[in-house]
């Protein structure tokens, strides 16, 4: 089998159908939840929003949550709620989705990019320490691939007035030393995009133990208006006051109902991803020249992404070669992420914080294998078979 021609070279692909790197896993309970809302009085700003927020506080062990229209909106709301604005600096990792840094730009502040730990691609606390200035207002750590960042060391790396915040788009359902993701940082943002562990179509949330922060998010998501229609109906008034400039960042009842239903399956789906990741680990342990991200002690990962690193010196082809060959086998590999400072926008606007030797070295080597809870064992066998075939053919 190992000598079979690669699909790229005219051989039969490992599988007939394309296996995406991620996708939502839905069941009949999820469908029924959405359908129930479609027959109800409220498609948006109704009872499902509060119910979803209630579930979010329960799973993340915090007292307050605000559901918003996307993870990106959640990051924007969080920046605003912490009073971050022009003249301020916010430290973010190089290897993340652009939205982490873009949210800093939305409020007119400056993202400063910190390098990552090459073994797990999480923001490097030592690098963060070296980037602190008297303008630094916050650090937004990203729980890359599903593992909580090193929040304890981040806290020690910055002065007490610098907020430690979490972009937990990858890590909902995980924990650090037994503390659930959501309750680790001062405030945390989730995304409910369909590739993420909890899918709602689109959606996001900010969670925190700080009631004032979440109140502020709730006003910012609704034009800066001090009450919603439910609160007004209770006291029988049409009056409301817009007290500040906000946005329409509301999450619908349709999305929230799906989100609540998805949360009820979250741990079972997380543990399925953990099982698949463990299968990948044990085969890759035997595969020369390929490694995977190191697990941090004390972390229960949400296993959002399965990222391998290719030891380029040992192969005749680069990452693009692996990408094309695996795609030809119908394995939907992807790359997470182009370092944010490499994007033309940030090249033009300026991306302070470099040099970034670790992210520069790791970016050309990383590749994400398909990992999602609805994958069958046979799907995961296909991923491994394709990886063995391609890496064997490319080995020097
Ligand atoms: C997905 C993601 C976001 C943005 O979430 P959306 O819901 O797509 O807006 C932000 N940060 C990270 C790290 C992400 O993976």
pLDDT at 361 over 70: yes
Conformational region of residue 124, where left means phi above 0, alpha means psi within -120 to 50, and beta covers everything else = beta
| Candidate of 71, 221, 249 to mutate for ligand 1, largest count of ligand atoms within 8 Å of Cβ | 71
Name 113's bridge partners: 92
Question: By the 8 A CB rule, do 165 and 139 touch?
Answer: yes
> CA 159 to CA 171: how far, in whole Å?
26
d(CA 307, ligand 1 centre) in Å: 17
Structure confidence at residue 3 (pLDDT):
59
In the predicted model, is pLDDT for residue 354 greater than 90? yes
- pLDDT class for 2, splitting at 50, 70, 90? very low
How far, in Å, from the CA of 80 to the mean position of ligand 1? 17
Residue identifier of the C-alpha nearest atom 3 of ligand 1: 71
Separation CA 129–CA 107 (nearest Å)? 23
Q: How far apart are CA 96 and CA 304, in angstroms?
A: 13
Measure 167 CA to ligand 1 centroid, in angstroms: 8
- Packing angle of the helix pair 71-81, 99-106 (nearest 10 deg): 40
**Model confidence pLDDT, tens digit, residues 26-79:** 999 999 999 999 999 999 999 999 999 999 999 999 999 999 999 999 999 999
Strand partners, 306: 369
Q: Residue 246 and residue 25: Cα distance in Å, rounded?
A: 34
> What pLDDT is stored for residue 226 in this prediction?
79
- Percent of the chain past pLDDT 70, that is, above it, reads 99
Model confidence at 335, in pLDDT bands (50, 70, 90)?
A: very high
pLDDT digits (tens, 9 = 90+) for 229-261: 777 778 888 888 899 999 999 999 999 999 999
- Calpha distance 109→87 (Å, rounded): 6
Atom of ligand 1 nearest to the CA of 73: 9
Measure the CA–CA gap between 138 and 104, rounded to whole angstroms.
10
Q: What is the arrangement of strands in the sheet containing 290-292, beginning at the earlier edge strand?
A: 290-292, 306-310, 366-369
pLDDT tens sequence across 191-223: 999 999 999 999 999 999 999 999 999 999 999
Give the chain as a 3 state SS string.
CCCCCCHHHCCCCCCCCCECCCCCCCCHHHHHHHHHHHCCCCCECCHHHHHHHHHHHHHHCCCEEEEECCHHHHHHHHHHHCCCCCCCEEEEECCCCCHHHHHHHHCCCEEEEECECCCCCCECHHHHHHHCCCCEEEEEEECHHHCCCCHHHHHHHCCCCCEEEEECCCCCCCEECCEECCCCCCEEEEECCCCCCCCCCCCEEEEECCHHHHHHHHHHCECCECCCHHHHHHCCCCCCCECCCCCECCCEHHHHHHHHHHHCCHHHHHHHHHHHHHHHHHHHCCCCCEEECCCCCCEECCCCCEEEEECHHHECCCHHHHHHHHHHCCECCECCCCCHHHCHHHHHHCCCCCCCHHHHHHHHHEEEECCCCCCCHHHHHHHHHHHHHHHHHHEC
Q: What's the confidence (pLDDT) of residue 192?
A: 98
- 71 CA to centre of ligand 1 in angstroms: 5
- Residues in Cβ contact with 34 at an 8 Å cutoff, skipping those fewer than 6 apart: 254, 257, 258
**How far, in Å, is the centroid of ligand 1 from the Cα of 395?**
35
Cis geometry, peptide bond prior to residue 305 (ω within 30 degrees of 0): no
Q: What is the CA radius of gyration of the chain?
A: 22
Please, which residues have CB within 8 angstroms of residue 348's CB and are 6 or more apart in sequence?
none
pLDDT exceeds 90 at position 305: yes
342 neighbors 353 (Cβ within 8 angstroms): no
Determine the residue of 97, 101, 195 to mutate for testing ligand 1's pocket, defined as the one with the most ligand atoms within 8 A of the Cβ atom.
Answer: 97
- Probe target for ligand 1 pocket from 101, 169, 174, with the most ligand atoms within 8 Å of CB: 169
**Whose Cα sits closest to atom 7 in ligand 1?**
71
Counting from 1 in the atom list of ligand 1, the atom nearest the Cα of 72 is 9
Ligand 1 neighbours by CB, cut-off 6 Å: 70-72, 96-97, 99-100, 142, 167, 169-170, 191, 193, 204
The pLDDT assigned to 8 comes to 95
Q: Which pair of tokens denotes residue 82?
A: 């912490």
Q: What is the pTM of this model?
A: 0.97
Asked if residue 322 lies in contact with residue 310, where contact means CB atoms within 8 angstroms, the answer is: yes
pLDDT digits (tens, 9 = 90+) for 99-131: 999 999 999 999 999 999 999 999 999 999 999
């Amino acid at each position: 089998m190992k000598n079979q021609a690669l699909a790229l070279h005219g051989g039969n692909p490992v599988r007939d159908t394309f296996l995406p790197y991620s996708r939502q896993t839905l069941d009949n309970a999820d469908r029924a939840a959405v359908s129930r809302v479609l027959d109800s009085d409220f498609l948006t700003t109704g009872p499902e929003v509060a119910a979803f927020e209630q579930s979010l506080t329960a799973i993340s062990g915090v007292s307050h949550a605000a559901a918003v229209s996307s993870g990106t909106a959640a990051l924007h709301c969080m920046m605003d709620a912490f009073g971050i604005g022009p003249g301020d600096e916010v430290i973010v990792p190089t290897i993340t989705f652009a939205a982490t840094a873009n949210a800093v730009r939305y409020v007119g502040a400056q993202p400063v990019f910190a390098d990552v730990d090459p073994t797990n691609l999480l923001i490097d606390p030592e690098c963060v320490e070296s980037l602190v200035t008297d303008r630094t207002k916050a650090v937004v750590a990203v729980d890359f691939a599903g593992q909580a960042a090193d929040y304890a060391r981040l806290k020690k790396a910055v002065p007490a007035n610098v907020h430690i915040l979490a972009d937990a788009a990858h890590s909902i359902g995980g924990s650090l030393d037994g503390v659930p993701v959501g309750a680790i940082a001062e405030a945390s943002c989730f995304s409910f995009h369909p590739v993420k562990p909890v899918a709602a179509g689109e959606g996001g949330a900010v969670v925190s133990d700080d009631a004032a922060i979440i109140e502020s998010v709730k006003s910012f998501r609704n034009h800066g208006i001090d009450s919603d229609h439910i609160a007004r109906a209770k006291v029988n008034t049409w009056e409301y006051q817009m007290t500040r400039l906000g946005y329409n960042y509301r999450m619908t009842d349709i999305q929230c109902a799906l989100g609540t239903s998805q949360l009820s399956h979250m741990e079972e789906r997380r543990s399925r991803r953990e099982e698949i990741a463990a299968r990948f680990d044990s085969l890759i342990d035997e595969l020369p020249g390929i490694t995977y991200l190191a697990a941090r002690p004390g972390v229960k990962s949400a296993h959002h992404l399965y990222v391998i690193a290719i030891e380029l010196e040992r192969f005749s082809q680069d990452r693009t070669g692996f990408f094309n060959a695996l795609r030809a086998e119908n394995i939907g590999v992807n790359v997470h992420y182009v370092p944010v400072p490499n994007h033309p926008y940030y090249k033009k606007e300026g991306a302070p914080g470099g040099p970034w030797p670790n992210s520069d070295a790791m970016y050309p080597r990383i590749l994400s294998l398909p990992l999602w809870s609805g994958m069958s064992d046979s799907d995961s066998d296909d991923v491994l078979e394709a990886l063995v075939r391609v890496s064997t053919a490319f080995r020097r």
